[in-house]
Structure 1
Amino acid sequence: MESEKWDGFRSKVGIYVQKLLTFRGFMVGSMENIQRQRVRERLDATGLNAFEAARRAGLHRSFLHDLLIGKKRSIREKYLPQLAPVLGCDPEYLVGRQSEVSRNAAGGAQPAAIPTPVGMETGSIPVIGRCEPGSWHDPAYPVPGVGKLTIEPDPRYPSTAQVGFVVYGDDAATIGIPDESLICIGLVDELKKYGRNLTIGDTVVVKNERNGTFEHTIRKYILEKGEYIFRSGGNNQGIPDTFPSENTVVIGIMLTSKKVF
């Protein structure tokens, strides 16, 4: 009899725990959906795309895009103060803790002014990443070694179509880009709007992805024996060629460079 009572008690506890876990999973999923929905809503309201909003917030370029496509589950709390002003809302709104877009906006919420990052001169553009073969990064975290670096944009194109990278290593030494240089690149999709298309012989920044991480490298875009190739311009001849694929794409064409360190 005691054994039967104990078995009944354990069965009830098991059912309760299962319901609790199911409810917790539902709540976590709901919060993730709220963040995704509200980020998409604020992008539409401000007229920004996911890449530009992430850039203005000082985050990795694919930060919001990964959230919207479900690759990233949620926004970490520490990034909300950077992101909310760009999207013209309060941090609490993005994570579903308040229903008002902004409690401080008079006469309705308006997109907040984009703050100028500390140390950035007027007309300069931010350095958002590093080109270094073998340096793989988690897109959920800021890229190390970038800090508050900036570079002057190429005057031939709008600054909004350009971003900067810092170069580490000799990956591009033989094409005139030594270790610890800054480069300014034009984003491929943006430059197309101004008649500048990717061309054989261009020096490009290539993004490689694997297992949820990424690296950026500098390559020469060449055509050899009918095949498009991204080739290293480094002193280390052991760096293999890479080829265009779903996980290996050109993000920008190099416009200018300078040795600064």
Structure 2
Amino acid sequence: MNAILKERIGERVSALKISWRRASLEAGLEAGFIQDIITGRSQHPGEDAVASLATVLKCSPSYLTGQSDDLANPAGAYGATALLSDAAQRPDAVMALRIVDELLAAGHVEAARVAVRRALKVIAVE
């Protein structure tokens, strides 16, 4: 996984024309997170860190780790139809998404990230 992870992180950073440092920081991680992966100092990054990084790199965590070759659709994830169906049954999730959308539109990336993490914690508890 590590060789694929290194390759795909490099590929996505290049495609988005952002630095390793910027991608790491936007993902809410230490500034040297990607550098540590690329240089081999970090052998097994956590799933949450990879998921945060995938969001910034505009791909799925399963793409980064080599479990899928599809940039957007993580292996074994809900299809878009199932996600919309679930959202219709969860007005609280819809409200959380609207709040995140407004925060992002206003340029408040960190606040949006916090809102997403809180919503995910609530969902995990249920």
TM-score when normalising by structure 1: 0.29
- The equivalent of 2:83 in structure 1 is none
Q: Which has the higher contact order (CA 8 A, sep 6+)?
A: 2
Residue 36 of structure 1 aligns with which residue?
6
SS in 2 for 1:41: helix
The CA deviation at 1:81 is 2.3
- Max radius of gyration: which structure? 1
**Structure whose residues are more often helix by fraction:** 2
1:48 has 2:53 as partner: no
Cα deviation code 1:211-253 (max 9, x no counterpart): xxxxxxxxxxxxxxxxxxxxxxxxxxxxxxxxxxxxxxxxxxx
> In structure 1, what is the Cα distance between the partners aligned to 2:48 and 2:68?
18
Change (3 A) 1:67 1:115: farther
The amino acid that maps onto 1:102 is A
Q: 1:75 to 1:115 in 2, by over 3 A?
A: farther
Per the alignment, do residues 52 and 99 of structure 1 end up closer, same or farther by CA in structure 2, a change over 3 Å counting? same
User: How do 1:158-237 residues align onto structure 2 when only pairs under 5 Å count?
Assistant: none
Specify the alignment match of 1:66 in structure 2. Answer: 36
Hey, what does 2:111 align to over in structure 1? 118
Root-mean-square deviation over aligned CA pairs:
2.4
1:118 is paired with a residue of what secondary structure? Answer: helix
Please point out which of 50, 63, 80 is paired with 1:80.
50
SS, match of residue 40 in structure 2: coil
In the alignment, the residues of structure 1 paired with residue 112 and residue 61 of structure 2 have an alpha-carbon distance, to the nearest angstrom, of: 24
What secondary structure is seen at the aligned counterpart in 1 of 2:109?
A: coil
- In structure 2, the partner of 1:57 is 27
Residue 67 of structure 2 aligns to a residue whose secondary structure is coil
Distance 1:99 1:115, change over 3 A: farther
Contact kept? 1:35, 1:74, Cα under 8 Å: no
Identify which of 61, 71, 93 aligns with 1:101: 71
Deviation at 1:72, TM superposition (A): 1.4
Moved >3 Å (runs of 4+): none
Partner SS state of residue 42, structure 2: coil
Note the residue ranges of structure 2 that are not aligned, 5 or more in a row: 75-103, 114-126
Q: What TM-score comes out, normalization by structure 2 length? A: 0.58
Aligned positions, number: 82
Asked if 2 retains the 8 angstrom alpha-carbon contact of 1:92 and 1:98, the reply is: yes
Q: Deviations over 1:167-204 (max 9, x none)?
A: xxxxxxxxxxxxxxxxxxxxxxxxxxxxxxxxxxxxxx
